[in-house]
């Protein structure tokens, strides 16, 4: 039964299941993601990277030269998001794009010497983020395992 409050009609929600923000896993994930990304910001500002650019650089430091298509898959980004990141990193002299000589349809991304050298400057970032998280190694592994499973489940469901 609606109740009156200063001319505004409010529905009686006592018969409906609660929609409490703190009960939604999606909000917990969102808040955690924002908190962690915020912790990265000052550390990455010091080396001139944004968090998404840092992810691109991590992928290249790990895998070396990579086709853009592989980076799309690795980073779980679409081309429209990844391409501007690559262009900015290229403009900053950290990587270069090149077409494969054997198949010019394939664009590869490679680190420049400056991009390779930047790796040494970010080696302090993971331990600093670990300290901010204040979780044990086991808790981090458990969280990663659960989040990877959650991602696979939701991605699989969305694709079905």
Domains and CATH numbers, the chain: 47-130 (1.10.10.10)
Q: How confident is the model at residue 102 (pLDDT cuts 50, 70, 90)?
A: confident
b/e 54-81 (16+ beta carbons within 10 angstroms → b):
bbbbbbbeeeeebebeebbebbebeeee
Contact partners, residue 86, CB within 8 Å, separation at least 6: 56, 68, 71, 95, 97, 109
Alpha-carbon span 52 to 12, nearest angstrom: 44
Residue where the block lists tokens 């018969």: 15
Which pLDDT does position 10 carry in this prediction?
57
Half-sphere exposure at residue 109, Cβ-oriented, CA atoms within 13 angstroms? 30
Its pTM surpasses 0.85: no
At 118-129, the pLDDT tens digits run 999 999 999 999
At 2-34, the pLDDT tens digits run 444 555 555 655 667 778 888 899 999 999 999
At 66-97, the pLDDT tens digits run 999 999 999 999 999 999 999 999 999 999 99
| φ and ψ at residue 8, rounded to 5 degrees | -100, 135
Looking at the chain, the whole-number percentage of residues with pLDDT higher than 90 is 76
């Amino acid at each position: 039964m609606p109740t009156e409050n200063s001319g505004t009609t409010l529905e009686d929600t006592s018969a409906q299941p609660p929609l409490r923000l703190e009960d939604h896993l999606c909000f917990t994930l969102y808040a955690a993601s924002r908190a962690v990304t915020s912790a990265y910001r000052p550390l990455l500002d010091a080396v001139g990277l944004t968090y998404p650019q840092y992810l691109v650089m991590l992928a290249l430091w790990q895998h070396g030269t990579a086709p853009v298509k592989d980076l799309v898959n690795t980073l779980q980004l679409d081309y429209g998001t990844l391409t501007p990141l690559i262009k900015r990193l290229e403009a900053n002299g950290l990587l270069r794009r090149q077409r494969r000589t054997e198949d010019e349809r394939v664009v590869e991304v490679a680190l420049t010497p400056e991009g390779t050298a930047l790796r040494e400057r970010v080696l302090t970032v993971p331990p600093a983020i670990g300290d901010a998280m204040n979780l044990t190694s086991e808790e981090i592994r458990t969280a990663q395992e659960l989040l990877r499973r959650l991602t696979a489940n939701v991605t699989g469901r969305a694709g079905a």
